[in-house]
Amino acid sequence: MVTSQGDALKNELIANLIRGITVMNGYGAYSNNENKVLYTVYYPL
């Protein structure tokens, strides 16, 4: 997920998923806007 609200989304995912999340800094190649990139693996049980 790419979002400008990385901390809020990270906290929501941690509260509701029993999974780890990797957070990376990213920026748009065209726009040069900085964003957070959140990466997690979801496998429904």
Closest by CA to 9, choosing from 34, 29, 28, 37, is: 37
The tokens for 31 are: 């726009």
Q: Residues in the chain with pLDDT < 70? A: none
**DSSP 8-state assignment for residue 20:** -
